[in-house]
Structure 1
Amino acid sequence: MRIMMWWLGAMLSLLVMPVEADELGAQLNQFFKTRDPLHAAGINVVVRTPEKQWPTCSAPQLSLPGNSRLWGNMSVAATCDRERRFLQVEVQVTGDYVVANRQIPRGSALTAGDIQIKQGRLDTLPARTVLDPQQIVEAVSVRDILPDQPVTLSMVRQAWRVKAGQPVLVIAQGDGFNVSSEGRALNNATAMQRVRVRMENGQIVSGSVNADGNILITL
């Protein structure tokens, strides 16, 4: 009888043992790789929560708040049946990012020679670091950028596609018609931004700048 009770107690203790470290690590890595397939090859998840606080089932359901960032320190909900535990994890990511190749003065239009690609820990970089050089093609620096400094989107702006006072073509489009007329831009704007235009008859209209510099108005 004692042997039977000991065996039953041992089996019950096994049922509440936390998931193995290797197994939980593999599940978390797969979870974050699926969430960010572009950088899946460089993802490594480190669990910071003590093992005794891990979920007790072998395959917990993992989830994140909808506004969670992709990398860095975050909290993951791990649910086993009706029991939910929160795991503190560090999502480390290695990949390519853009740095300045030389000192770039404020107001300079960036060229291919101004930047280069480096590889390193993306999760330790400043917010909105540029990962793809195509993001800043023809961009203009809004501050001085130092050599080897990671370039962020807050350091640059897109080049003006339309400038205040510039003659522009306004194209009004609607159901079954397309009308164009000339006017003069009243403010600077990049592609896809809104711009106000004074038409030849004095009327002021507002539309979006397309890649060609024309102003599109949808009626």
Structure 2
Amino acid sequence: MKGKILLFAALLCSLNAQADDLAAQIDSFISGQFSGNPVQVKVLVRTPAAQWPQCEFPQLSLAPNARLWGNISISARCGQERRFIQTQVQVIGNYLVSARSISAGSRLTAADVKLKSGRLDTLAPRTLTNAGKAVGAVSLRNISPGQPLTFAMLRRAWAVKAGQPVRVTAQGTGFNISGAGKAMNNAAAEDSVRVRMASGQIVSGIADDDGTIRITL
């Protein structure tokens, strides 16, 4: 009887050690996804240890384009066996909020935004973490002071608008020609835009910051 108890205790210690090892591997795997980002990461494994893979070093992976925080599922493969480990990833870092009231249609400046530190995993999807993504953009709605900013609240400013007269330049090996036309659609910088030329011909190009339409031949 004593021998069975010792055997069970040894087995339990082995399972606990394996669980600790896998938890550490998952923590390292997730933390590595944020390499170079100034954030604090805490990983909580929710799947019971009894359902974890039994090999020493399972191959860990995430689905393509999977989000990196909140409740996520990590694939752990041991040979032909595959288990999914349910994990909660808590991330503390900087995100963007409005520094003052912003009216719909306003073009944002650096004075309109500020960084705040907090739990990124509790915020709305696609919350902005970089001021460069907001400054120069146009608000699609009224925004209250201190409100977290998301991509859905903003659009890039138009470099050209539909019906606007534009200058079109075409470049190729050994030549550079230009002409005039009218934009047929709104476009931000580096967006594609169609232009009706004075001759009636319709061409497609890329909008530059200054409203010039660039065609590369």
Runs of at least 4 residues of structure 1 off by over 3 A?
9-16, 18-22, 38-41, 174-177
- 8 Å CA contact 1:33–1:40 kept in 2: the answer is no
- Alignment of 1:130 with 2:128, yes or no, is yes
Q: Point out where structure 1 has 5 or more consecutive residues left out of the alignment.
A: none
Cα gap change, 1:55 to 1:16, in 2 (>3 Å): farther
- Alignment of 1:23 with 2:18, yes or no, is no
Instruction: Find the counterpart in structure 2 of residue 152 from structure 1.
Output: 150
Deviation at 1:6, TM superposition (A): 6.3
- 8 Å CA contact 1:33–1:39 kept in 2: the answer is no
- 8 Å CA contact 2:38–2:93 kept in 1: the answer is no
- 8 Å CA contact 1:16–1:57 kept in 2: the answer is no
1:121-179 C-alpha deviation (Å, 9 max, x unpaired)? 11111111111000112111011111211001110111111123333221123344332
Deviation at 1:18, TM superposition (A): 5.6
Deviation at 1:23, TM superposition (A): 2.7
Instruction: Find the counterpart in structure 2 of residue 119 from structure 1.
Output: 117
Q: Which moved more, 1:41-50 or 1:150-159?
A: 41-50
Normalized against structure 1, the TM-score is what?
0.86
Partner Cα separation in structure 1 for residue 144 and residue 43 of structure 2: 32
Instruction: Find the counterpart in structure 1 of residue 106 from structure 2.
Output: 108
Instruction: Find the counterpart in structure 2 of residue 161 from structure 1.
Output: 159
Please report the RMSD computed on the Cα atoms of aligned residues, expressed in angstroms. Answer: 2.8
Q: Which moved more, 1:54-63 or 1:87-96?
A: 54-63
* Count, aligned residues: 217
Instruction: Find the counterpart in structure 2 of residue 37 from structure 1.
Output: 35
Q: Aligned to 1:28, what secondary structure does the other structure show?
A: helix
Instruction: Find the counterpart in structure 2 of residue 192 from structure 1.
Output: 190
- 8 Å CA contact 2:29–2:60 kept in 1: the answer is yes
Q: Point out where structure 2 has 5 or more consecutive residues left out of the alignment.
A: none
